[in-house]
Amino acid sequence: MPIPFIDLQAQRQRLGQSLEDAILKVVRSGAYIMGPEIAEFEAALAAFGEAPFALSCGSGTEALVLPLMAWEIGPGDAVFCPSFTFAATAEVMPLVGASPVFVDIDPVTYNLDPESLDAAIEAVKAKGELTPRAVIAVDLFGQPADYPAIAAVAKKHGLKLIADSAQGFGCTLNGQHPIHWADVATTSFFPAKPLGCYGDGGAVLVKDERLRDLIVSLRVHGQAVKSDIEGKTFEHDPKYLNVRVGINGRMDTIQAAVLLQKLSIFADEIAARNRVAARYAAGLSDLVTVPKVIEGGVSVWAQYTIETQDRDGLAAALREQGVPTAVYYPIPIHRQGVYSGYPVAPGGLPVTEVKAGKVISLPMHAYLTEDDQDQVIAAIRAFVKKNAA
């Protein structure tokens, strides 16, 4: 029987009746949009992520768009991000009319390289065609970016910092969540994420109350919030007083109900994922390049990604033995036609381009059995030794 790449059913079985009851409660209530579970989940998420406020939305992409809209980032503005990531990180800039500027990555963690970032910002300033406004750092494969260094660069240039934790919500660095350094942290609840729902969903974690109010407004078509109508008379539903251009960015109540159940076991699942990662490292580090977490960091291991010179050969050999693999970001964003005209950091993105040709991800989830993992390890070791002979 093939080994599952991600086993969502094992998690569902663990949660059991409580999960089904939570979903059925929403179905019976009829409060399918902005029901009481939304506020309950937002409070729980803020507490887990150690943020003053958390706001749910319809997807991880919306979570990135909303703060850009709130900060009025648009035409003529530059937002700096890695190219070695999913397209959603970069596509939000053109969606608001701004320009992404692509930055290289650290060769060990695959996360944003602070030196490349600083050079990219200086280059954009020197050219004078765009105004630097923000940085989006990505917690790729589940581990935190180098936030102390990245935040220092952002502060030096007066830029906002977004922590894109679509893959990394729950990760920490020196005991702190990314929001400790960032102005905003965002996440995705796509089902395959470490904390995933049963559809699409996302969230924005913020520290500033005014920014919170703006995002509350923007996610519901620019509706008036309390600060907009203070001292004014409007006795109707505030959603019919639209004071800014917004979007439909709400999360379905059923997804909040699902996530409340999953959040209750999330810390335990993070610990389990780290045990799986440690076993992979022990079984493979002498033969292949295994991932290394930044010093002081705790990863949530959205993926376990190794490097190999013969990626296609390894994938084929593992597939024959019922072991699935995945290749993430084989074509970096800056190499894709629709994004190829946007700026890149000085000297290009050499690390990004090398890593894109080497990385391959192995089965990783909190319920991966030792027997299944041993099968994966044995298959990789056999392939590497055979091809080294």
Between CA 6 and CA 368 the distance in angstroms is: 8
Tokens linked to 153: 């660069």
Residue 119 burial (CB count, 10 A)? 17
The four Cα atoms 306, 311, 313, 319 give a dihedral, to 10 degrees, of 60
Separation of first and last alpha carbons in the chain: 30
Reference 92, options 110, 114, 66, 113; nearest CA is 66
What φ, ψ does residue 241 adopt, rounded to 5°?
-115, 105
**234 Cβ neighbours under 8 A, 6+ residues apart:** 224, 241
Q: Where are the alpha helices (DSSP H) in 204-335?
A: 209-218, 226-229, 253-263, 266-284, 311-320
Tokens linked to 154: 């952002």
* Beta carbons of 122 and 156 less than 8 angstroms apart: no
* Sequence letter at residue 59: S
Q: Between the CA of residue 324 and those of 55, 114, 292, 311, what are the distances in Å?
A: 35, 34, 22, 13
Active-site annotation holder among 127, 156, 193, 292 = 193
Residue 384 burial (CB count, 10 A)? 19
What φ, ψ does residue 339 adopt, rounded to 5°?
-110, 0
Reference 105, options 365, 388, 359, 385; nearest CA is 359
193 is a catalytic site residue: yes
Between CA 39 and CA 35 the distance in angstroms is: 8
DSSP code per residue over 315-362: HHHHHHTT---B---SS-GGGSGGGTTS-B-TT--HHHHHHHTTEEEE
Catalytic residues: 193
